[in-house]
Amino acid sequence: MIGGFDRFRCGQLFLSKNALCYSTSEKPYVVLHKGNACAEESLLLDYIDQGPFFSMFHAMRWKHRVVFFSTLTAFITYAFQPLAGSIFQIRQVSQTDNNVPVTSTEYIALADDIFQLNAFLAGAGYVDAAALHGLGDPPFVFSNWTTAKFLFPDDRNINETLTVNTTAITTRTNCANPAGGTTRLERVNGTTDLFYLNSTSVDGCAPSNGTIRIDTTSTTQQYGVTDVTCPNNPETELRFRPVMFWFFHYLDPTNQTTAEARTVFCTPNLLPFSVTATAHLLDGKLDSCFKSGTFNQSNNVTGPPLNGKAFNGVIFDESPDPFIRARATAISSGVSGTIFRTASNQPQGLQAIFDLPNGMLDLTSRIYTQHLAVSAKAIYFKPGNSTINGQRSSLVPRLVIDSLPGHLLAILLLSIGIVGVFVRIINHRQRRNLILAAPPGSIASITALTARSGFGELLLPYDNALQLERKLEGIKFCLDKRTGAIVADDASEGVPGMGRDDAMLSLLGRQNERLSQHSTSSQVAYQTASRFGPWVYKNPYEQVPD
């Protein structure tokens, strides 16, 4: 579209300039062809040297309408040149390359080192750092979605994205407030620093150890997580059981008279899907991820031995390895501590979050979901290469035309073009009877047109424009119908001091014959016609020094 517009503009500029050149350069000859033309309107008229702007005023003076409209259209067309640049804009336009081969480096399968708890410890550490520094989700994690890893192209631009159809696991925490929305907190008889915390979920789930014992002698703010047992889910393995996060603090830490506690019950589950994921090529983070189909391939996550059960990611079976036990303690305290610290760091304060009906529920659901999604990267996927189709999209700068000014400029250009066509037709009609043996323009052609005219004897090489106008004043000119030469049409009002016959003979080049037959007074008359008396030097070179 831009290329076509440029070609149209160049074509119109060429036609306008061509029409202007012909109409202005040949107009004096058209005037001479009509006859009885004064020197100022014909021989002395030079539209090309005056330029388009001043040519319009001279054309109006002599009523040269063709020259006026031709110059006007050309002048307007030249003015459109800078205006045309204002209709262009550079916009960022999406460009998409389909069927880009992408290498997927993972597939859904249970990892071999799950029981080392390294994946869960890394997930707990990441959510703690993300909550503290606002990191967001890592690559290949989007909210509760965890996708298989795939490789990005080496040539990456800052605004490019890659969309692929891949596999992913969605982990849902299914967190909820306790039954009735309250948590029972009882002070132990005879003590001021010991409390029992009791809470039950809407499904009847309760802590497996019955109650949570809270000792405030060491700290007034406490938190933790424990596994729960449910009547309709008699899970025997701790790592797959639902969990309960609990949080405790005093309303006034200085008086320590009124204590409050909140609990949140979560029952994680997982489901594999075929998804369409879009990732930024610069940092690898997912921009979107949504379900595109079911996942029916056999695997050991949805099949034996896991059978689709989700790790709770915070409670684990007892291990004889002290390092594994230390990791388990760090994971459970790390996730619950991140939730509590996030609530404490809110602008409105911890008590305001406690007072909200879903204050602790929302924070727990968000942070716990991120922990399980990040951990899923290392526990539900194994290395394995495969080729998948991708769609590479980028924002590229494109030059476009604004609709309204573009259409307006096109209408104006079309109108100017139509006017130019009519001007060219009229100009052609005026020139069709013009007899010129050679195109005007060169010195030789101009000399040929005036060589036999005779009035050239009145002019001298060093005459300026004012002198030329004064010498040719009163003489009428025309084009000879037979030869096309420029001749004097009527010299009755021409050269002062000469009779009609003498002036005409002088202009026709026969002056020497007549002067040779007359006295010195005839010579004086001729010199008077040429504006030079016998006492005046004709040029600076005739003066002889004393």
pTM of the shown model? 0.66
Please indicate, yes or no, whether residues 286 and 159 belong to a single structural domain of this protein: yes
Please indicate, yes or no, whether residues 294 and 166 belong to a single structural domain of this protein: yes
Please indicate, yes or no, whether residues 50 and 128 belong to a single structural domain of this protein: no
Separation CA 529–CA 49 (nearest Å) = 30
Please indicate, yes or no, whether residues 348 and 445 belong to a single structural domain of this protein: no
Please indicate, yes or no, whether residues 275 and 146 belong to a single structural domain of this protein: yes
Separation CA 244–CA 263 (nearest Å) = 7
Domain end residue (candidates: 393, 414, 445) = 393
Separation CA 485–CA 478 (nearest Å) = 8
Category of 478 on φ-ψ map: left (φ > 0), alpha (ψ -120 to 50) or beta: beta
The number of distinct structural domains making up the chain is: 4
Instruction: Give the structural domain span for 533.
Output: 437-546
- How many CA within 13 A on the CB side of residue 534? 7
- Contact between 275 and 377 under an 8 Å Cβ cutoff? The reply is no
Please indicate, yes or no, whether residues 64 and 106 belong to a single structural domain of this protein: no
Please indicate, yes or no, whether residues 422 and 512 belong to a single structural domain of this protein: no
Please indicate, yes or no, whether residues 225 and 80 belong to a single structural domain of this protein: no
Please indicate, yes or no, whether residues 449 and 430 belong to a single structural domain of this protein: no
Check the CA dihedral 434-436-437-440 and report its sign.
negative
Domain end residue (candidates: 215, 237, 264) = 264
Please indicate, yes or no, whether residues 55 and 123 belong to a single structural domain of this protein: no
Domain end residue (candidates: 236, 264, 292) = 264
Please indicate, yes or no, whether residues 381 and 403 belong to a single structural domain of this protein: no
Please indicate, yes or no, whether residues 200 and 108 belong to a single structural domain of this protein: no
DSSP track, 367-382:
HHHHHHHHHHHHHSEE
Separation CA 241–CA 456 (nearest Å) = 119
Please give the chain's pLDDT, 546 residues, in tens.
Answer: 444 444 444 554 455 555 555 556 677 778 787 888 887 777 777 777 777 777 777 777 878 877 788 878 877 877 777 777 778 888 888 889 998 999 999 999 999 999 999 999 999 999 999 999 999 999 999 999 999 999 998 888 778 999 999 999 999 999 999 998 778 888 887 677 889 999 999 999 999 888 899 988 888 899 999 999 998 878 889 999 999 999 999 887 777 778 899 999 999 999 999 999 999 988 889 999 999 999 989 999 999 989 999 999 999 999 999 999 999 999 999 999 999 999 999 998 899 999 999 999 999 999 999 999 999 999 999 999 999 999 999 988 888 888 888 888 888 888 888 888 888 887 777 777 777 766 677 777 777 777 777 777 777 888 887 888 788 888 888 887 777 788 887 544 444 444 444 544 444 444 444 444 334 433 443 444 444 444 444 444 444 444
Token pair of 188 as six digits = 């132990």
Category of 99 on φ-ψ map: left (φ > 0), alpha (ψ -120 to 50) or beta: left
Q: Of 3, 10, 51, whose CA–CA distance to 417 is shortest?
A: 10
